Structure 1
Amino acid sequence: MAGIEICSSCVVRMEKNSTPNSIFELNQWDLQLLLADPSQRGIFFKTNGYQTLESQTLLVDHLKTTLSRTLDYFPPLAGRLGTTANSDGTISFHINCSNAGAEFTHAVAGNMSISDLLEPKYIPDTINSLFALNGVVNSDGVSKPLLGVQVSFLADGLFIGCTANHAVLDGIALWHFFNSWSEISRGAETISKLPVFERWFPDGIKSLRIPPLQQNESANFVRPSMLRRFFHFSKQAVSELKAKANQEAGMDSISSLQAVSAHLWRGVTRARRREKIKKGCNQEDQREIPCMFAVGARDRIPLPDGYFGNGLIIAQMFCQEAEILENGLGYAARKMKDLVAQHNRDAAIKYAQHWVKNPVVVEYPAITTFAVGGSPRFNVYGCDFGWGKPVAVRSGMAQPLDGKMTVFPAPEPGGIDVEAWLAPETLMAMDDDAEFMEAFAV
């Protein structure tokens, strides 16, 4: 498959810079992600008429101009991280809205079509080249841009990829920015939802302090090879999984996301178990395996509409393989439902208070797990820049973890798409799992 050619790269700053050098302190949800990778999300558009460099340049200039106008509403994304060394040896982090600018890259892959990137069973590594700022971690935002945009022109369309510092925003905030930029690109004079940048701190404590950051220990591991695959659950499949999970659990409150996540959890666990048996591990593994769920704090605290930052609680539980495999879909879905339900308002506040007293910066170890992030509620397909809605969404290479599931809405309402990072043998075993693949027959 042909590569991606970079045509130009520049810095885009706010057009008006109406809040010069504003400072926003990072809170507990932001700081816990300093050693993680940025968030990388991008969308494909089917377009015609951008085969020549002249036509591409006109569109690129339009996108630069509208990005500059959009950054006026999102000054943190045009800034850099700042640090303060405290007398007790700790460090405090903040966002300095310095208007140092976002990175903007114009790229071309004229011999490559959208189908070349979407149709393969496993997501090709070429997708990674559609994103800027590969290889950075969030703490690099002291000197690196907090936002990198790459517009890549393909033979029959284009891809707009955003790499955003995850210590500055989460998925909700990233799609808030993406949707706002598309509004300005379509000609809107202002955006429909204004962001709120003031962070929420437990007990009103600001300027949180953390120990000096150490090199991410996971960088010393040689990660096992992994593949990515998009699993598409149609509206009918989601409905059937939800009905089955609720029926088996004897309830009616298991959500679509919990049912789909439970189906994936059981499928991944079965596949890993079968591969271990093939390798001679015949004894039942009683080791507890982790399951993690990104739980939103916005509705639980609650935070103001338009809150622009992180609002994520990393909920975790441990279950034995046999516990998941010997019980049905309803059991696994109820376990997930109970995990989420435990993280109510009081738990969310206690989580934040505990973190302030015992700060832990998340690392991504080279272990197998099962972790669910993202949401089917993100307004991915409302990002119309003026030439129609996106046809697909993809992520970059950030945060590779064996067992990471990133959830997106499907193009058709009611469906759910999940991007799965897994070991090759796990994905292949799932292909041969009739119970798992049955969900994709509808």
Structure 2
Amino acid sequence: MADGVSVADIITPVYVPNETVYSFFPLNGVTNCQCISEAKPLLGVQVTELVDGIFIACTINHSVVDGTSFWHFFNSWSEISRGSDCISKLPVLERGFLSDSEYFPSRLPLWSIEPSGTHTPPPNLRQRVFHFTKENIAKLKAKANAEIGSTNKISSLQAILSHIWRSFTRNRSLDPDEEVHFMLGMGVRQRLQPPLPPEYFGNAAQVLGEFASMKARDQLEQGLGNVALKMNKFIAAYTDEKIKNFLESWGKNPEILTWDSLPTKNNACFVSSSPRFNFYGNDFGWGRPIAVRSGPANKAAEGKITLFAGVEEGSVDVEACFLPETLQDQI
């Protein structure tokens, strides 16, 4: 129970009250590898009673599931809680798409899963949620396509991400010649050939270690359309061949990705989650959700962006974790 904390205390402030929200999440500070080396849980659930509501928080090992599988689990749990005799979408556990490789299942050397030190994030990182209405998203998409002479090449999500990327580059006041980077956790289910079923239960997301990159000057001067086109080409490059080559290479030489191992962490944005996930269709018997917030995972430096569907149909919420001086301006 969170004595004296109301729903409004969480969703009304301009900045997310990190200390309060993070306390609602279990397994804070536990890394994926510690579930192997120290037998930490793969899943933690915490239900906190507020003055006038309920906060349901889950922490799950990202090595086991991606966002699609996590929300499959969460949506199914909601169905069962409402008294359903069976879940509407049964999980698919088949791993046949890896059967041709001699390197799976992979074996990580013990030295590679031992903690090499704890990264200390900047103490003053703040979070702010920016709301994009359906109408504003349509305007961004139309503007991006018009600037490159297209009718529909740039998707709504690409237009949003490009707008965010340019906005935070501007608000950071970077050197015009500095390279700024954009990293994206990519779901690959439908990019594999043949595609994986939507109900595949596992981790089918990749960060290939590559970035969409531009000089700060070019990004701000070339306009939304050109930045969105750069984003479009970056995303389109995730082909079946590239995904499988990455899996094969990683299987031969498995390497654990950490925030500190990223050479561009101080001038990059990293995006995770998706507005396509079913956030607001869940009902555990207390009614539909009214807001979504995330815990402290993967927020070791400024630049973490988490995408959620908005409450209104067609809207998108962007949860941005940056230094206060970056967040003080509107995007």
TM normalised by structure 1 equals 0.68
The code of the aligned residue for 2:281 comes to G
Judging changes above 3 Å, is the alpha-carbon distance between structure 1 residues 202 and 359 closer, same or farther for their aligned structure 2 residues?
Answer: farther
| SS in structure 1 at match of 2:76 | helix
Identity %: 45
- Check conservation: 1:224, 1:423, Cα contact below 8 A: no
2:191 is aligned to 300
**Candidates 382, 401, 407, aligned match of 2:281:** 382
1:171-191 Cα distance to aligned partner (Å, 9 max, x none): 111110000000000000111
1:223 shift after superposition: 3.4
- Check conservation: 1:131, 1:162, Cα contact below 8 A: yes
**Candidates 295, 302, 310, aligned match of 2:203:** 310
2:24 is aligned to 130
**Candidates 334, 356, 367, aligned match of 2:229:** 334
**Candidates 267, 271, 275, aligned match of 1:372:** 271
The code of the aligned residue for 2:53 comes to G
1:194 is aligned to 90
Q: Distance between the aligned counterparts of 1:220 and 1:191, measured in 2?
A: 40
1:305-352 Cα distance to aligned partner (Å, 9 max, x none): 311111112152222111211111111111111100011222211221
- The reply on whether 1:262 has 2:162 as its aligned counterpart is yes
For structure 1, list consecutive stretches of 5 or more residues without a partner in the other structure.
Answer: 1-107, 277-283, 437-442
1:249-290 Cα distance to aligned partner (Å, 9 max, x none): 2221211111111110000000112xx5xxxxxxx4423222
Q: Distance between the aligned counterparts of 1:194 and 1:397, measured in 2?
A: 30
2:243 is aligned to 348
2:105 is aligned to 207
Q: Distance between the aligned counterparts of 1:235 and 1:218, measured in 2?
A: 44
1:239 shift after superposition: 0.8
Matches within 5 A, 1:272-291: 272-273=172-173, 284-291=175-182
1:416 is aligned to 316
- Check conservation: 1:217, 1:363, Cα contact below 8 A: no
How many positions carry a matched residue from both structures?
315
| SS in structure 2 at match of 1:355 | helix
The code of the aligned residue for 2:251 comes to V
**Candidates 3, 9, 13, aligned match of 1:120:** 13
**Candidates 131, 140, 147, aligned match of 2:34:** 140
Q: Distance between the aligned counterparts of 2:142 and 2:45, measured in 1?
A: 41
1:117 shift after superposition: 0.6
1:158 is aligned to 54
1:109 shift after superposition: 1.4
1:346-396 Cα distance to aligned partner (Å, 9 max, x none): 221122122222322110126331111111100011111123211011101
| SS in structure 2 at match of 1:393 | coil
- Check conservation: 2:182, 2:268, Cα contact below 8 A: yes
Q: Distance between the aligned counterparts of 2:117 and 2:128, measured in 1?
A: 23
- Check conservation: 1:218, 1:364, Cα contact below 8 A: no
Q: Distance between the aligned counterparts of 1:218 and 1:259, measured in 2?
A: 38
| SS in structure 2 at match of 1:231 | strand
- The reply on whether 1:109 has 2:13 as its aligned counterpart is no
1:35 is aligned to none
Larger Rg: 1
Q: Distance between the aligned counterparts of 2:169 and 2:122, measured in 1?
A: 20
Judging changes above 3 Å, is the alpha-carbon distance between structure 1 residues 218 and 314 closer, same or farther for their aligned structure 2 residues?
Answer: farther
1:218 shift after superposition: 6.7
Q: Distance between the aligned counterparts of 2:178 and 2:251, measured in 1?
A: 31
- Check conservation: 1:202, 1:353, Cα contact below 8 A: no
Q: Distance between the aligned counterparts of 1:112 and 1:380, measured in 2?
A: 23
1:402 is aligned to 302
Runs of 4 or more consecutive aligned structure 1 residues displaced over 3 Å after TM superposition? 214-218, 220-224
- Check conservation: 2:106, 2:254, Cα contact below 8 A: no
Q: Distance between the aligned counterparts of 1:288 and 1:411, measured in 2?
A: 35
Q: Distance between the aligned counterparts of 1:198 and 1:225, measured in 2?
A: 44
For structure 2, list consecutive stretches of 5 or more residues without a partner in the other structure.
Answer: none
The code of the aligned residue for 2:105 comes to S
The code of the aligned residue for 2:307 comes to V
TM normalised by structure 2 equals 0.90
Judging changes above 3 Å, is the alpha-carbon distance between structure 1 residues 176 and 415 closer, same or farther for their aligned structure 2 residues?
Answer: same
1:139-182 Cα distance to aligned partner (Å, 9 max, x none): 12231211111111111111110011111111111110000000
| SS in structure 1 at match of 2:21 | helix
More strand by share: 1
Judging changes above 3 Å, is the alpha-carbon distance between structure 1 residues 130 and 222 closer, same or farther for their aligned structure 2 residues?
Answer: closer
The code of the aligned residue for 2:35 comes to G
- Check conservation: 2:169, 2:180, Cα contact below 8 A: no
Matches within 5 A, 1:223-262: 223=122, 225-251=124-150, 252-262=152-162
